[in-house]
Amino acid sequence: MSHFSDHDVRLDLLRDRAFNLRWAEQAQDVIPLTAADPDFPAAPVIREAIVRYVQDGVLSYGPPQGLPIFRDSVAGYLRTRRGARVDASGVIAVNSAAAGLAMVARQWLAPGDEAIVMDPVDFLFAHTVRSAGGVPVRWSVTRTGALDLDRLASLITPRTRMLGLCNPHNPLGRCFTRDELTAIGRLAERHDLRILSDEIWSDIVYRPAGFTSMLALDEAIASRTVVVHGFSKSFCLAGLRIGYVAMTDGAACARMLAASEHPSTVDGAATVSQIGAAAAYDRALPWLDAFLEHLRARRDQAVQALNAMPGVQVQAPDATYVAFAKINDPPCTIEDLVDRLRREHGVAVVPGSPRWFGEGAAGHVRICFATSEGILRQGLERMDRGIGSIRADKA
Amino acid sequence: MSHFSDHDVRLDLLRDRAFNLRWAEQAQDVIPLTAADPDFPAAPVIREAIVRYVQDGVLSYGPPQGLPIFRDSVAGYLRTRRGARVDASGVIAVNSAAAGLAMVARQWLAPGDEAIVMDPVDFLFAHTVRSAGGVPVRWSVTRTGALDLDRLASLITPRTRMLGLCNPHNPLGRCFTRDELTAIGRLAERHDLRILSDEIWSDIVYRPAGFTSMLALDEAIASRTVVVHGFSKSFCLAGLRIGYVAMTDGAACARMLAASEHPSTVDGAATVSQIGAAAAYDRALPWLDAFLEHLRARRDQAVQALNAMPGVQVQAPDATYVAFAKINDPPCTIEDLVDRLRREHGVAVVPGSPRWFGEGAAGHVRICFATSEGILRQGLERMDRGIGSIRADKA
């Protein structure tokens, strides 16, 4: 089964349909290695499930918590693949994982409350905390090495309510171990903090690295955790806007649902999207395995090519399909470098700007490698030539 | 072309898929005339458009404002069918009309600000005002007769920021005239109020009644108006969660988009839903005409049957597919009556509870007639027998 060759990338459709800094938002000759969104079509079994559902034509209101078939699929997946004690009563379908982060932050934080988030980390952590009126407090993490738990403990104040974890970590590509997560959980227990664990990358993990869900730890930790997950990264379904929040306690989930804007119908996920997502877990896991095999090869390709560029340094990510590369002695600001790469050299990457990822991202660029071998090769060649040329200009 | 006969109603699918007080949430033998959501499948051309899009398989991120093809369709529809001076820059795709109401209320109201909403009216007006921290102030409207504009003027205080209009009106079925809307608009102009005009029912209007959009009035009024519209009522697409906000000023629209959670990806509408909605406006308007013809016959059927019930009184709605019937000398509270009708007589309707519609709804029930002739007849017969039997019990 190959779904991931160069000719599986439908550039004609991507130029029409792929927004968020990708093909449809770039000049015709630019290769975007930007937003973490694959260049491949969704799995055939997912498309077939949606087509069957839509052909029947009955597209009435879904329930506020999500379709039973969706919540059953999610709970089954979390139990069998993650060892999490979750049933359908502990799952809410949400209008993207980002919407799930916002739902939890709004409910857990009152104005002025503090939430600890990692540094660097995807901008949605600080963003959703601030949107909820809270104050993000940054905890530095690195690609490897021991977590600084003493530092984490020192950041906790009487105003701290929530610990936001990104595991596997975007953009570092780190999978936190069971021991590390347990230590973090114990700290949360001691200080009565809630844990928001964004596990949207948990399907994209490269052996021998392994993933542990916060919901798979003991009940004292799991019961104070809400996991957010989605289908855009693993199954190329960003346009469907479908994710979920999950927790072990069905009663707590019912309270979160009641306090949300789902019962009013202001918020919620499209039923068609839920059908596609349920099919992903029920029937597309073999496709996901093949995708992961393809991604491992692309990871190795990207890491090798990046490390071969003078003054560029990257550690292979254990998870995610982004490489977070350090630009040593940058010839200009990272923002200018990225801008010139895009305008003059035909390749777009994401700058490690503090406003996107936190101060810990300074001096880095993020490269998404969820594309075909040929497109990735071409994109990295342009980056190599581009950085060389920009450095030469400066010299 | 008949899409609206008894056998077009797929009870097997509705029992699985129609939530929000409808088939999937009722006992097997109950006919729901509850949520304003049709019992019919979506138009074939809409289904075909979604199927084609999904079969291609590229389901990447859409843009924050909505797909260009969606915004073009909406703007074209508003210009040609409504005479509104809107182009694609003045349209934002939202995750349901309800989400649109909430987006506008959040941006226009600061805590403590007052917003005038009608009484009675759909609960979402007061709900979204309150959720935004505002205070809903009720303005009484009736099915017929002159609007009390003096009363409206007297409700305006220095804290009033917004006027919320439901036109056509749910649950009264009233279409406000151009003169009435102009008078309201002038008042808003005088007091520098913004106007939120919910026009989700504007496709379901029975001649000789006619609909005027607030965006079709002169620029002084149109420029202070945002219209909210959706596809659930007209095109049986509630499950797709797709609506829009529209305004004449593209720059104001850009500001509203920037201040929303769309750029962060927390909020937004699924691309697949936008494709279905664009097809509705581009290709399903003949289907809509046939639906409207069917609904006019169901309206007449419902009004005749309701007025033939002893102690029940209803005026034919000029718009919407709900009948708002007064129960004279009710044998018990409206909530109890509705509860007994559902449990003992196999028909579910919506009680005119103040918490749902405002005080002006007291003593009423709302009946949705967007079903087939046979199902509607059976539902109304059950209601007739039920009310008679409950009255007899009391006597």
- Whether residues B253 and B116 share a domain: the answer is yes
- Whether residues A151 and A203 share a domain: the answer is yes
How close does chain B come to A128, measured CA to CA in Å?
9
How close does chain A come to B341, measured CA to CA in Å?
23
Which residues, at least 6 apart from A67, have a Cβ–Cβ distance to it below 8 Å?
A93, A271, A274, A275, A278
pLDDT digits 0-9 by tens, A83-123: 999 999 999 999 999 999 999 999 999 999 999 999 999 99
What residues are paired with A32 via a beta bridge? Answer: A348
Last residue of a domain, one of B283, B312, B340: B283
- Whether residues A74 and A115 share a domain: the answer is yes
Q: Which band of pLDDT confidence, cut at 50, 70 and 90, is reported for residue A1?
A: low
Tell me if A266 and B96 make a contact (CB, 8 A cut-off): yes
What pLDDT is stored for residue B27 in this prediction? 96
- Whether residues A203 and A337 share a domain: the answer is no
Contacts of B242 in chain A (CB under 8 A): 270
Q: Which CATH number characterizes residue A351's domain?
A: 3.90.1150.10
How close does chain A come to B29, measured CA to CA in Å?
19
DSSP assignment, residue B220?
H
Tell me if A270 and B266 make a contact (CB, 8 A cut-off): no
- For residues B27, B28, B32, B37, the Cα torsion angle rounded to the nearest 10 degrees is 110
What pLDDT is stored for residue B1 in this prediction? 52
- Is residue A395 included in any domain, yes or no? no
Closest-CA residue in chain B for A233?
B60
**ipTM, two decimals:** 0.97
How close does chain B come to A96, measured CA to CA in Å?
7
Q: Which CATH number characterizes residue B149's domain?
A: 3.40.640.10
- Is residue A368 included in any domain, yes or no? yes
Closest-CA residue in chain A for B235?
A59
Q: Is the pTM of this model over 0.95?
A: yes
What pLDDT is stored for residue B144 in this prediction? 95
Contacts of B13 in chain A (CB under 8 A): 56, 58
- Is residue A335 included in any domain, yes or no? yes
- Is residue A69 included in any domain, yes or no? yes
Tell me if A266 and B98 make a contact (CB, 8 A cut-off): yes
Contacts of A105 in chain B (CB under 8 A): none
Contacts of A127 in chain B (CB under 8 A): 264, 266
Our count of domains for chain B comes to 2
The DSSP annotation for B344-386 comes to: HHSEE-EE--HHHH-GGGTTEEEEE--S-HHHHHHHHHHHHHH
Q: Taking CB atoms and an 8 Å cut-off, how many pairs form between chains A and B?
A: 201
The DSSP annotation for A104-151 comes to: HHHHH--TT-EEEEEES--THHHHHHHHTT-EEEEEE--SSS---HHH
- Is residue A1 included in any domain, yes or no? no
- Whether residues B241 and B254 share a domain: the answer is yes
Q: Mutate one of B16, B54, B236, B267 to test the A interface: name it (highest A CB count within 10 A).
A: B54
Per-residue tens of pLDDT for chain B, all 395 residues: 579 999 999 999 999 999 999 999 999 999 999 999 999 999 999 999 999 999 999 999 999 999 999 999 999 999 999 999 999 999 999 999 999 999 999 999 999 999 999 999 999 999 999 999 999 999 999 999 999 999 999 999 999 999 999 999 999 999 999 999 999 999 999 999 999 999 999 999 999 999 999 999 999 999 999 999 999 999 999 999 999 999 999 999 999 999 999 999 999 999 999 999 999 999 999 999 999 999 999 999 999 999 999 999 999 999 999 999 999 999 999 999 999 999 999 999 999 999 889 999 999 999 999 999 999 999 999 999 999 999 999 87
Interatomic CA distance for residues A205 and B143, integer angstroms: 61
Mean predicted confidence (pLDDT) in A288-300: 98
Tell me if B270 and A239 make a contact (CB, 8 A cut-off): yes
Contacts of B37 in chain A (CB under 8 A): 60-61
- Is residue B1 included in any domain, yes or no? no
Q: Which band of pLDDT confidence, cut at 50, 70 and 90, is reported for residue A355?
A: confident
Mean predicted confidence (pLDDT) in A209-226: 98
Please state the φ and ψ torsions of residue B303, each to the nearest 5 degrees: -65, -45
Interatomic CA distance for residues B34 and A60, integer angstroms: 13
Tell me if B270 and A273 make a contact (CB, 8 A cut-off): yes
- Is residue B237 included in any domain, yes or no? yes
Residue B389: how many CB atoms within 10 A of its CB? 15
Nearest-CB residue to B268 (from A22, A56, A241): A241
- Whether residues B164 and B303 share a domain: the answer is no
- Whether residues A272 and A323 share a domain: the answer is no
pLDDT digits 0-9 by tens, A252-261: 999 999 999 9
The token duo for A161 is 């309510």
Contacts of B238 in chain A (CB under 8 A): 59-61
Q: Mean pLDDT across chain A, nearest whole number? A: 97
Tell me if A59 and B265 make a contact (CB, 8 A cut-off): no
Closest-CA residue in chain B for A57?
B41
Q: Mutate one of A59, A262, A350 to test the B interface: name it (highest B CB count within 10 A).
A: A59
- Is residue B145 included in any domain, yes or no? yes
- Whether residues B32 and B64 share a domain: the answer is no
Query: Which segments of chain A does DSSP mark as H helices, in order?
Result: 11-17, 44-56, 68-82, 97-108, 124-131, 149-155, 178-190, 219-222, 232-235, 250-258, 271-283, 285-308, 334-345, 354-357, 373-394
The token duo for A188 is 């949360």
What pLDDT is stored for residue A394 in this prediction? 83
Last residue of a domain, one of B238, B262, B283: B283
Which amino acid is located at A393 in the chain? Answer: D
Q: Mutate one of A61, A71, A264, A271 to test the B interface: name it (highest B CB count within 10 A).
A: A61
A345, A367, B338, B349 from A30: Cα distances, Å: 8, 14, 62, 57
pLDDT digits 0-9 by tens, A131-176: 999 999 999 999 999 999 999 999 999 999 999 999 999 999 999 9
Q: Among B61, B132, B113, B103, which residue's Cα sits nearest to residue B196?
A: B103
Q: Mutate one of A7, A53, A60 to test the B interface: name it (highest B CB count within 10 A).
A: A60
Contacts of A25 in chain B (CB under 8 A): 63
Quick one: which H or E segment has residue A364? strand A364-368
A264, A270, A327, B288 from B45: Cα distances, Å: 30, 19, 52, 11
- The count of C-alpha atoms lying within 13 angstroms of the C-alpha of B204, restricted to the half-sphere facing its C-beta, is 36
- Whether residues A238 and A148 share a domain: the answer is yes
Interatomic CA distance for residues B309 and A86, integer angstroms: 50
What pLDDT is stored for residue B213 in this prediction? 98
- Whether residues B260 and B349 share a domain: the answer is no
What pLDDT is stored for residue B201 in this prediction? 98
- Whether residues B274 and B299 share a domain: the answer is no
Last residue of a domain, one of B283, B318, B350: B283
Q: Which band of pLDDT confidence, cut at 50, 70 and 90, is reported for residue A274?
A: very high
Interatomic CA distance for residues B10 and B12, integer angstroms: 5
Find tokens 């007064």 and name the residue.
B326
A78, A226, A317, A350, A360 from A393: Cα distances, Å: 52, 50, 31, 22, 28
> Which residue segment(s) compose the domain that B322 sits in?
6-42+285-394
Contacts of A14 in chain B (CB under 8 A): 58, 60
Contacts of B236 in chain A (CB under 8 A): 59-60
- Whether residues B61 and B10 share a domain: the answer is no
Tell me if A61 and B35 make a contact (CB, 8 A cut-off): yes
The token duo for A94 is 């949400």
